[in-house]
């Protein structure tokens, strides 16, 4: 024992020296760090323990004077694991950046022991838990620390005042530390996207060197204090999406360096302070979605701003531009002008043409009158022009063709008359044209068919258009929505292009339109009959009186037969129509025009309910429907039927298609409270491979779910209703399996069981990605026996349908599987012990590790 101690004391220095020569601290520290990581993309292959120094390794940078590691930057390497103590061997490390990886767990307090660190970037990982207080106690040299886009929670440590920079986007709660002003060297402060609350600490005014302050999307309250004007170094101030109230402080005018000011989505009152004219460097101003009052201040256009958004306030008065002289140039830099959703009145002034750099002009949802000024055509750079929901009259000026950069033109819900000018074809960049709910007359111009880039929507509904539709419209191959409903159009609906799949709601309300889509066949066109002269014979001679009388009698008989046949056909059509009317499923009276429109953006607010009406709640967007409520559950718009009810397609006023599921389980739902509680929970579940729930409708006798519309159909149709059994390649099938597994994994993470997995509930979007629908609806059925949903309607095992309709029998796949299990014929088809089965998260990882063979190898 004594001998061993002596050997250790005398030989240890020699052993250490030898080790340093073969493997210095930096190499050893990094190799041990690598050993604790998962490196699925082999990004760290160059890290070789036999190297004397690591300076040529990927992601490693050394100080050229000392050959010691100074930077470790492994951003986006797909690494996972933990940050261990071995990195402490990197005694001269100044930058540690591990962002955009998959590191999990809590932040290791050992980071506080790095004495030389200047930058720590752990953003965009899966870190969770509290921020250790130690990390800020000894960080006097630390200049930047970024923990953004993780899953961190809890309060920000009080020791923050010892450090320089912190960037947000986590789940921090509580208040900003009172001594934040102690960070005198702070240049940028970003607490955005958290749940911070309370008032702003007074010490913050000491941050005179801070040039950027962002507190957006939190829960701060109270008035913005006047001392904000003492932060003279501010160039960007973003207080948006909070609960600030009271007037906008005049002291903001003292921020002479300010370039960007965003106070949107708060509860500010009063008028816009004129002191802003002192902010001579201001280029972007956003005070939208507040409660500001007063007239539109004309001095706004003398500041040389590039972006102005005053939308969603209570501004009144006329649009005055008296300050815009022909010699002034300050307004010519304006690119974005949004004055929508106010109470502005009067006409749109013709001097609007002077905004020669304007890219977006939104004057919608005001009380503007008069006609669309012809000078609108001089806006050569404008891409979005929205004058909708006003009281404009007159016609659309032909000069509109001069706005050659237009991508979106919205004039809906006005009193515009006249025809659609053919000059619209000069706006060759248009992707959306919305002219609905006006008094337009005349033909649908052929010129629209020359807008080859139009890909989103053409909406001409609810006008007085007449005539036939140009067949050239079928050339618009990329168009998503074409709506000409409720006009006076007639003739045959064109065949081809988007007309082959156009929903009935987009062409209804035109009684004289015909075509297969409308279930109204067009009258056949026959050549004119050959009229024979009864007084002439085949040889040119005259007919005898007897033969003449015989022909007259035959003509009368033929006419009577024809009339009788016509009457018989008409009666048949009437009878069939009546029978069809009674056979069609009727909607509840409460579903037809008895909606109480409301919104529930945060899935928590509930509107008032009138006992005589239904309750409609949309989680986001407008709740209006293009076709009107009477067409919501139209049989012609039915997409399919499932275990929980039928699904119909409709279109919202903003152009979005929507799928509506009419639930057939009304009698099984306990109460409205249970229904709304569960649907709101499901509405919060978001994932790229899940069908989003957009809203719901409730009456005691009728419940509707509003879902994201997925245009590619179901997996069932692709497997069993395609042209052949091989309509999906193996690569496509693999992608569908992986996406569905990801959807299920996400559901399990949020404690939701699907209960109804089958191929009809796996929808496929335009890009070939699966979207799983009907998840969690079993929560609405507390009265059902829980064993009902144990049946697994899987199509994967043998490629069979969930239910096979044979010649003399019906075969249920789950019964077949159960029988095979009882007879011991399933081999390795399933794992017998549930605990041995991988959870869906593990399934996803297994699938992602599989290397899919090329197409040719599956032949």
Report angle CA 302, 305, 308 to the nearest 5 degrees.
105
Instruction: Say which DSSP state 744 is in.
Output: H
How remote is the C-alpha of 562 from its chain's centroid? 59
Measured between alpha carbons, how far is 689 from 742 in angstroms, rounded to an integer?
7
Q: What share of the chain is helix, strand, coil (3-state, %, to 5)?
A: 30, 20, 50
- DSSP, collapsed to helix, strand or coil, labels residue 780 as helix
Measured between alpha carbons, how far is 688 from 167 in angstroms, rounded to an integer?
27
Measured between alpha carbons, how far is 809 from 812 in angstroms, rounded to an integer?
10
Q: What Å distances lie between residue 140 and 119, 178, 360, CA to CA?
A: 12, 19, 47
Q: Which two tokens stand for residue 837?
A: 């089965």
Size of the chain, expressed as the number of residues it contains = 859
Q: Which two tokens stand for residue 528?
A: 């004119």
Given phi > 0 = left and psi -120 to 50 = alpha, else beta, which region is 622? beta
Place of tokens 């600490």: 201
- Distance between the two ends of the chain, CA-based, in angstroms? 71
544 CB neighbour count, 10 Å cutoff: 10
Judge whether 59 and 73 are in contact, CB under 8 Å: yes
- DSSP, collapsed to helix, strand or coil, labels residue 686 as coil
Q: What Å distances lie between residue 754 and 690, 789, 819, 835, CA to CA?
A: 11, 9, 25, 19
Strand pairing partners for 599? Answer: 618
Nearest to 56 by CA among 79, 33, 26, 22: 26
Q: What Å distances lie between residue 565 and 393, 520, 561, 570, 571, CA to CA?
A: 51, 20, 6, 9, 10
CA dihedral (610, 614, 620, 622) in degrees, to 10, reads: -90
Read out DSSP for 62-100?
E-TTT--EEEEE-TTS--EE---GGGGG-TT--EEE--S
Is 635 labeled as ligand-binding?
A: no
Measured between alpha carbons, how far is 186 from 180 in angstroms, rounded to an integer?
10
Judge whether 770 and 799 are in contact, CB under 8 Å: no
Nearest to 312 by CA among 260, 385, 365: 365
Number of Cα atoms under 13 Å in the Cβ half of residue 705: 28
Read out DSSP for 324-378?
--TT--GGGG--EEE--SS--BSBPPGGGGG-TT-SEEE--SS--BSBPPGGGGG
- DSSP, collapsed to helix, strand or coil, labels residue 230 as helix
Strand pairing partners for 71? Answer: 61, 95
Show binding-site residues for ATP. Answer: 662
Show binding-site residues. Answer: 662
């Amino acid at each position: 024992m004594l001998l061993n101690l002596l050997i250790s004391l005398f030989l240890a220095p020699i052993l250490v020296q030898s080790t340093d020569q073969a493997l210095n601290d930096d190499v050893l520290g990094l190799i041990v760090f690598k050993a604790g990581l998962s490196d699925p993309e082999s990004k760290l292959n160059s890290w070789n323990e036999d190297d004397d120094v690591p300076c040529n390794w990927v992601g490693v940078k050394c100080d050229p004077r000392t050959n010691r590691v100074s930077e470790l930057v492994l951003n986006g390497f797909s690494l996972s694991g933990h940050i261990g103590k071995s990195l402490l061997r990197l005694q001269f490390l100044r930058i540690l950046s591990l962002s955009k990886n998959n590191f999990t767990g809590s932040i290791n307090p050992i980071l506080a022991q790095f004495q030389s660190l200047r930058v720590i970037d752990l953003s965009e990982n899966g870190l969770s838990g509290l921020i250790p207080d130690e990390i800020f106690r000894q960080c006097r040299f630390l200049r930047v620390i970024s923990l953004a886009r993780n899953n961190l929670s809890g309060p920000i440590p009080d020791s923050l005042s010892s450090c320089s920079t912190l960037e947000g986007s986590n789940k921090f709660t509580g208040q900003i530390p009172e001594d934040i002003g102690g960070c005198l060297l702070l240049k940028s402060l970003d607490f955005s996207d958290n749940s911070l609350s309370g008032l702003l600490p007074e010490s913050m005014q000491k941050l005179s060197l801070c040039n950027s302050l962002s507190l957006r999307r939190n829960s701060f309250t109270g008035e913005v204090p006047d001392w904000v004007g003492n932060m003279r170094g501010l160039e960007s101030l973003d207080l948006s999406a909070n609960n600030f109230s009271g007037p906008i402080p005049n002291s903001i005018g003292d921020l002479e360096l300010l370039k960007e000011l965003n106070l949107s989505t708060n509860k500010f009152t009063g008028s816009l302070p004129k002191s802003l004219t002192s902010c001579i460097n201001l280029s972007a101003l956003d005070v939208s979605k507040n409660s500001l009052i007063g007239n539109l201040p004309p001095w706004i256009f003398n500041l040389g701003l590039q972006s102005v958004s005053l939308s969603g306030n209570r501004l009144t008065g006329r649009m005055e531009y008296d300050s815009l002289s022909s010699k002034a140039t300050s307004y010519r830099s304006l690119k974005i002008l949004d004055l929508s959703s106010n109470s502005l009145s009067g006409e749109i002034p013709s001097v609007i043409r002077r905004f020669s750099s304007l890219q977006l002009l939104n004057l919608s949802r005001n009380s503007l009158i008069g006609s669309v000024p012809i000078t609108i055509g001089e806006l050569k750079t404008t891409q979005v022009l929205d004058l909708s929901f006003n009281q404009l009259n007159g016609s659309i000026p032909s000069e509109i063709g001069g706005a050659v950069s237009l991508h979106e033109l919205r004039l809906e819900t006005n009193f515009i008359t006249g025809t659609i000018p053919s000059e619209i074809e000069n706006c060759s960049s248009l992707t959306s044209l919305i002219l609905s709910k006006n008094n337009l007359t005349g033909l649908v111009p052929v010129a629209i068919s020359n807008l080859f880039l139009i890909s989103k929507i053409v909406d001409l509904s609810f006008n007085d258009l007449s005539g036939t539709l140009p067949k050239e419209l079928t050339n618009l191959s990329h168009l998503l929505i074409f709506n000409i409903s409720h006009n006076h159009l007639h003739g045959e609906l064109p065949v081809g292009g988007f007309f082959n799949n156009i929903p009935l709601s987009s062409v209804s309300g035109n009684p004289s339109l015909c075509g297969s889509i409308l279930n109204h066949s067009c009258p056949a066109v026959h050549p004119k009959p050959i009229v024979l002269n009864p007084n002439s014979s085949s040889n040119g001679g005259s007919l005898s009186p007897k033969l003449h009388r015989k022909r007259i009698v035959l003509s009368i008989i033929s006419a009577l037969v024809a009339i009788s046949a016509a009457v018989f056909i008409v009666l048949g059509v009437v009878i069939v129509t009546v029978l069809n009317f009674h056979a069609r499923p009727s909607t509840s009276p409460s579903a037809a025009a008895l909606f109480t429109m409301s919104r529930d953006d945060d899935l928590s607010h509930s509107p008032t309910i009138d006992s005589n009406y239904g309750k409609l709640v949309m989680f986001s967007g407008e709740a209006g429907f293009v076709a009107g409520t009477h067409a919501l559950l139209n049989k012609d718009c039915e997409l399919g039927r499932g275990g929980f009810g039928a699904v119909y397609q409709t279109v919202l006023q903003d152009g979005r298609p929507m799928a509506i599921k009419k639930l057939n389980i009304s009698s099984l739902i306990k109460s409205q409270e249970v229904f709304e509680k569960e649907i709101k929970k499901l509405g919060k579940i978001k994932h790229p491979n899940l069908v989003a729930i957009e809203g719901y409708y409730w009456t005691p006798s009728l419940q509707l779910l509003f879902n994201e519309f997925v245009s590619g159909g179901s997996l069932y149709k692709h497997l069993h209703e395609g042209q052949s059994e091989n309509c999906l390649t193996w690569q496509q099938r693999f992608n569908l399996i992986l996406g569905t597994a990801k959807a299920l994994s996400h559901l399990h993470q949020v404690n939701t069981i699907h209960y109804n997995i089958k191929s009809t509930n796996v929808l496929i979007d335009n890009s070939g990605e699966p979207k799983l629908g009907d998840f969690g609806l079993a929560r609405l059925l507390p009265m059902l026996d829980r064993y009902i949903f144990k049946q697994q309607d899987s199509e994967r095992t043998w490629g069979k349908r969930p239910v096979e309709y044979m010649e003399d029998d019906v075969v249920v796949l789950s019964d077949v599987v159960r029988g095979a299990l009882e007879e011991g014929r399933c081999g390795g088809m399933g794992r017998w012990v549930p605990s041995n089965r991988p959870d869906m998260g593990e399934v996803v990882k297994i699938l992602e590790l599989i290397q899919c063979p090329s197409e040719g190898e599956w032949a």
